[in-house]
Chains A and B, each alone.
Chain A
Amino acid sequence: MDASTRTKSRSKKPQYSRFTQQELPAWKPILTPKWIITSFVIIAILFTPTGLLCLWASERVVEIIDRYDDDCLPDSYSTDPDSFIQSNNTNKTCVRTLKVPRKMSAPIFIYYQLDNFYQNHRRYVKSRSDKQLRDPDEADETEDCKPINGNDDGPIVPCGLVAWSLFNDTYKFFKGNKAIDIDKKDIAWESDKKYKFGSNVYPKNFQKWELIGGGALDESKPLSEQEDLIVWMKTAALPTFRKLYGKINTDLEANETITVVIQNNYNTYVFGGEKKVALSTANWIGGKNDFFGISFLTIGGVCFFVAINFILLYVLKPRPLGDPSYLSWNRNQGAQ
């Protein structure tokens, strides 16, 4: 019995390990002037050229933007744009001319840009049925789509506010009198066409409701081929966004004049939105976006400035690190 209690008490004794004793070897860096100043200088050195590179890349992108919603509104309707856009009898064709500032090499992307359009509104974002889009057997899955979900004739495919408000302005581009081909193939994500929009799901009852929203769909084409719809249904996170309309696969030379024939169908007048058409080339940085370049340069500059200040502080007001005389209790002993 004695022996067993002894072994018991021994086993109660903690086992030694570096972890249990909190003695794992540790790296204990401290913020020495050397480290901090060096790292700020390094950030400055890295960020400044990166910023310049981004700016240069962004500068290389050629972009033509043309806002047309106001100009495409006939003067007679300027006080009442609603009746113009909602009427079936008004002539909505509108011609714009654009000048190519620099040579644009193919592929040139055509975007439509909407401002003040809340695709990210809670009511809007949720108003779709991914199941229905994917699978013809789930056409009745329209719970989330209310009120655009269907009527006695059966469910609407594709249902919901997102599809219902499909953008339906159209663009035609002319160089002189010669039409420029617009490639509308492969403007949507491959993954969407393959998995999210079924190749055997066809539009049904779409835009047949008493309230007509945006564009209509060709009922003979499966959803996976309705690329405009797929692009539209990739909801944007910001109220200002661009969506791909098509691609031009020929180069545009500098100073060429391009004519755009717009069918101005989509109603942004009622909520004060803007519509723009944009032609843009792209490179590794994406479209034209000076933000990267400017912020890299700003951060690099600020880091450089901070580093200079710290160096000056270090030189002008040196402070020995870990000076025990700064400990107040040592100081008080002196006072006593």
Chain B
Amino acid sequence: MVYFLGNETKLGMSRGVAEPKLTAMDAMIDKLTGAIFIFQIVVVIVLGIAGNVWKDTEARKHWYVLYPDEGPWYELLIIPLRFELLCSIMIPISIKVSLDLVKSLYAKFIDWDKQMVDVETATPANATNTAISEDLGQVEYILTDKTGTLTENKMIFKRCCIAGTFFGNENGDAVKDVELLKAINTGSPDAIKFLTVMAICNTVIPIKSPSGIVTYKAQSQDEEALVRAAASMHMDFVNKNANILEINFNGSLIQYEVLDYLEFTSDRKRMSVVVRDCSSNKIILLSKGADEAILPCAYAGFQTKTFYEAVDQYAQMGLRTFCLAWRELNEVEYHDWSLLFKEANSTLVDREWRVAEVCQRLEQDLEILGVAAIEDRLQDGVPEAIETLRKAGINFWMLTGDKQNTAIQIALSCNFVSPEPKGQLLLINGKTEDEVCRNLERVLLTMRITKAEPKDVAFVIDGWALEIALKNYRKAFTELAILSRTAICCRVTPSQKAQLVELLKSCDYRTLAIGDGGNDVRMIQQADIGVGISGREGLQAARAADYSIGKFRFLTRLILVHGRYSYNRTAFLSQYSFYKSLLICFIQIFFSFVSGVSGTSLFNSVSLMAYNVFYTSVPVLVSVLDKDLSEKTVMQHPQILFYCQAGRLLNPTTFAGWFGRALFHAIVVFAITMHSYAFEKSEMEEVSMVALSGCVWLQAFVVTLETNSFTILQHVAIWGNLVVFYIINWIVSALPRSGMYTIMYRLCRQPAYWNTMFLIVAAGMGPVLALKYFRYTYRSSKINILQQAERLGGPILSLGNIEPQPRTLDDTDDRSPLSISQSKNGRSSVFEPLLSDSPSAVRRSFGPGATFDFFQSQSKSSNYPRNKDN
């Protein structure tokens, strides 16, 4: 006998293997590190050559250096290697440590967030993966499951249609429908059969508590809802004893022996049970499943029209529908089939397919009993959350296993697509390749035409068509996927969900997948960010996910608050780390020009170490508390997320700004130090300490200038760090054995030292401040405008949906939003190098193919320009 447990089960096997995730920011930082590394190599080679030239032409004349005439064979390498040692600090090793530290804090902030605690179940949000918070701020596509994610997954049986009669239409609750109760009480065979299927055609296990109350354990919420509804209509499934099911119908106990389970699979979309009625010894096949899986299996001549109508009608209301069917089997037929079934179950190759085929043989000539409709309510705040996130420029795809109509209804009710006339749904379905191809072409055409209009266009595709489209028309489908902001994919299997995620990822989009059930695990693991809802379908999704939240609406906060802050903070922290390393390294390089290009280090090793470990890393670590905009403002203006999505705060341009700032500051520190401490003051230890003090002072002011909000911790870290710098150096200067003995005391008594510090700070920060102010006021980014509005307490705080103001100044801009921001970018790029938040971000290079060109000239239906790669 073979058992499959844990990871060997079907669910476990289909889960796939999670790959370690790398955020877009990490990738960018790696790229920048690579660039700096190349720069470092170039510097080392150039200085190495210069050093050797100087040595051969000049240094040999300087008799006091006493260069030997014949050096060892590696002599040529000595100077380059010396410079390599000097320049090795150019790449900040501390960045990895600092980033890990702050990332774990970002994750903790998510765990701690009170506003993301689901009060009903008291589940807080949880960040399982602590490394990818920044990616949350860069999400472009959200792929969401429907059941349990958008909806509550609290299934309630609401309506049904039995043998052509609709129940529950008047009062909206079939369980309380007098007509139905009457039919049951009078023993209408159709109603009783219907209830029987509801009660026993499932894998539910009733558990009787000692007090006599029966509770149900079900894998599927739908089955539980059906069993519950049956129970409340006096068809009480009370006990399951091995293969014997006991049903209490109106006080009389009926027993059924289960002969076979024909399991549910997402391909078959139905499940059946073969039972033997213990009293009459009849063998019965009970089936339930999706309409398209059940209704075609009706026996010849059966009128299924009313059922199709019923299914349509229920789906229109957003209800989930199940068709219930039944067939009596004769002993011989069952016996023959049973042998086949056993054989199929024991095959080793293609078992699933074989079993499905055998099941198919039995599940035919069914007598359709009726349609059950189950309601699944939307979670609180879902429509608002989706609207906010769509405003933030995030595209939504809904991937569901449900019917098309149900999916569309839910999509409409939760703001996925605007209702007509603003919104437009384009359907892609079809069973054959030709049909799908034609549909796809048509939809693409419509999309291309409407892309200029501010219309909400969404396409709807079903699982079958998706299969064909993905297989044969991948390119066209990819184009479609890029063109449309919204898509509804219904009747899709877990692996198709994952494929769609893969498709979007291959177009270089940041994807977030959110789901709650085991069937979403693949998608969640595949996506850049997986979010699991720790809901009713168990914790599988939440466990596999990077983040788990209690309710869908917390996604807004997760992305807009936590994701955005994390992105901003990391952008500053990483670039600052490069800045401070470059600063000290540039000074070393400049010093080598006045020390005979010999590779002398201006700073002693203790100072260099302390500079990286203490003086510069502590103040910047508290930037994890920095908030550029308040949470409220961000929630009111979700569009601001664009800066994160487009990677505008960390890209080669902003990095060039920091690089330039490091170079400028190095020049300032070096020039001022060397001129202030010239002639009789030019003593190595003193000069080195003056330059180091200059760097530490400057970096304190740089952090101050780049900090948007100062909490007490920031003040302590920035100014406390400066105090600590002096204390540490006083201590070191008190040790007679250290090279710096008495240096710091001497310096602190010299007016020249303090003059030098004033000069360095003023000359270093003045231009930066002036430029920043100029851009802040006259070339302000949207973030700046919101900051100004928020902090000056202007009218903007109530601006969530302000009436557009007529523009008088430069109204030519109004027509093409893209052109303004681009021309603006062009103008202000001149001022960029010293500032961090450059507006002309360099977007990740876009995927191959000219199909994406239209992106340049269109604004999609988004409300702001997406200048992808300018």
Contacts and interface: CB of A to CB of B under 8 A. Distances in A.
B112 A325 contact: no
Q: Is the interface of B mostly helix, strand, loop or mixed?
A: helix
B63 A241 contact: no
Interface stretch (A19-27, A69-77, A218-226): A19-27
A100 B826 CA distance: 61
A31 B805 contact: no
Interface stretch (B287-295, B300-308, B657-665, B703-711): B703-711
Contacts, number: 303
Interface in A232-251: 234-244
Ranked 3 nearest A-B pairs via Cβ: A322-B789, A334-B804, A322-B788
Given A27-B709, A240-B679, A285-B751, A267 B62 contact: no
B599 A122 contact: yes
Interface stretch (B179-187, B476-484, B795-803): B795-803
Contact of A326 (B82, B759, B780, B817): B780
Contacts of B82: 122
A292 B863 contact: no
Interface stretch (B130-138, B369-377, B511-519, B768-776): B768-776
B598 A121 contact: yes
B600 A120 contact: yes
B65 interface: yes
A328 B864 contact: yes
Interface string A31-43: 1110010011001
Interface stretch (A171-179, A252-260, A298-306): A298-306
30 contacts: A22-B109, A22-B625, A24-B625, A27-B709, A27-B711, A30-B776, A30-B787, A50-B755, A111-B680, A122-B82, A122-B596, A125-B600, A164-B64, A237-B591, A238-B682, A238-B687, A239-B594, A241-B682, A244-B680, A270-B63, A271-B63, A286-B750, A291-B676, A321-B792, A322-B787, A324-B785, A327-B637, A328-B865, A332-B863, A333-B804
Given A195-B736, A321-B788, A236 B684 contact: yes
B804 A331 contact: yes
A263 B785 CA distance: 72
Interface residues of A, number: 102
Contact of A237 (B684, B710, B758, B802): B684
Contacts of A47: 758, 762
A195 B807 CA distance: 76
Contacts of A299: 759, 762-763, 766
Interface stretch (A6-14, A91-99, A151-159, A198-206): A6-14
Contacts of B674: 237-238
A165 interface: yes
Contact of B863 (A33, A234, A322, A333): A333
A326 B681 CA distance: 54
A267 B598 contact: no
B62 A319 contact: no
B712 interface: yes
A122 B600 contact: yes
B762 A20 contact: no
B682 A20 contact: no
Interface of B: 58-59, 61-68, 82, 108-109, 111-115, 117, 121-124, 454, 565, 591, 594-596, 598-600, 602, 625, 627, 637, 639, 672, 674-684, 686-688, 708-714, 736-737, 739, 741-742, 750-752, 755, 758-759, 762-763, 766, 769-770, 772-774, 776-778, 780, 782, 785-792, 794-796, 799, 802, 804-807, 813-815, 817, 820-821, 859, 863-865
A21 B682 contact: no
B792 A322 contact: yes
Contact of B684 (A189, A235, A296): A235
Contact of A334 (B755, B794, B814): B814
Contacts of B59: 118, 121
A210 interface: no
B596 A118 contact: yes
Contacts of A147: 66, 68
A332 B861 CA distance: 11
A12 B122 contact: yes
Given A191-B741, A240-B682, A317-B778, 18 more contacts: A20-B109, A28-B710, A31-B777, A47-B758, A120-B596, A214-B64, A236-B682, A239-B596, A271-B63, A291-B676, A306-B766, A322-B790, A322-B794, A324-B795, A324-B805, A326-B782, A328-B817, A334-B806
B558 to A, nearest CB: 14
A150 to B, nearest CB: 15
Given A20-B109, A234-B683, A322 B122 contact: no
A50 B714 CA distance: 31
A292 B680 contact: no
Interface string A45-68: 001001000100000000000000
B595 A121 contact: yes
Interface string A81-109: 00000000000000000000000000001
Given A24-B712, A191-B742, A319-B777, A14 B112 contact: yes
A122 B114 CA distance: 59
A9 B122 contact: yes
Contacts of A16: 114
B117 to A, nearest CB: 6
Contacts of B859: 332
B680 A287 contact: yes
A118 B594 CA distance: 8
Given A9-B122, A324-B785, A334-B805, A286 B752 contact: yes
Contacts of A142: none
A189 B68 CA distance: 34
B113 A21 contact: yes
B736 to A, nearest CB: 4
A22 B557 CA distance: 13
Interface in A273-318: 280, 284-287, 289, 291-292, 295-296, 299, 302-303, 306, 310, 313, 317
Contacts of B117: 13-14
Nearest to A6: B122
Nearest to B804: A334
Contact of B755 (A54, A122, A189, A196): A54
Contacts of A189: 742
A59 to B, nearest CB: 16
A238 B65 contact: no
Contacts of B805: 324-325, 330, 334
A292 B750 CA distance: 13
B687 to A, nearest CB: 4
B66 A161 contact: yes
A184 interface: no
Given A26-B710, A291-B675, A317-B778, A286 B681 contact: yes
B759 A295 contact: yes
A306 B688 CA distance: 32
Nearest to A271: B61
Contact of B802 (A161, A322, A324): A324
Contacts of B64: 117, 124, 161, 164-165, 213-214
A15 to B, nearest CB: 8
Contacts of B742: 189, 191
Nearest to A109: B680
Nearest to B686: A237
Given A238-B674, A271-B58, A118 B595 contact: yes
Name, among B599, B710, B788, B864, the residue most crowded by chain A CB atoms within 10 Å (CB to CB): B788
A43 B61 CA distance: 48
Contacts of B596: 118, 120-122, 239
A2 interface: no
A148 interface: yes
A113 interface: yes
A289 B673 CA distance: 13
A239 B739 CA distance: 21
Contacts of A39: 769
A110 to B, nearest CB: 11
B777 A123 contact: no
Contacts of B711: 24-27
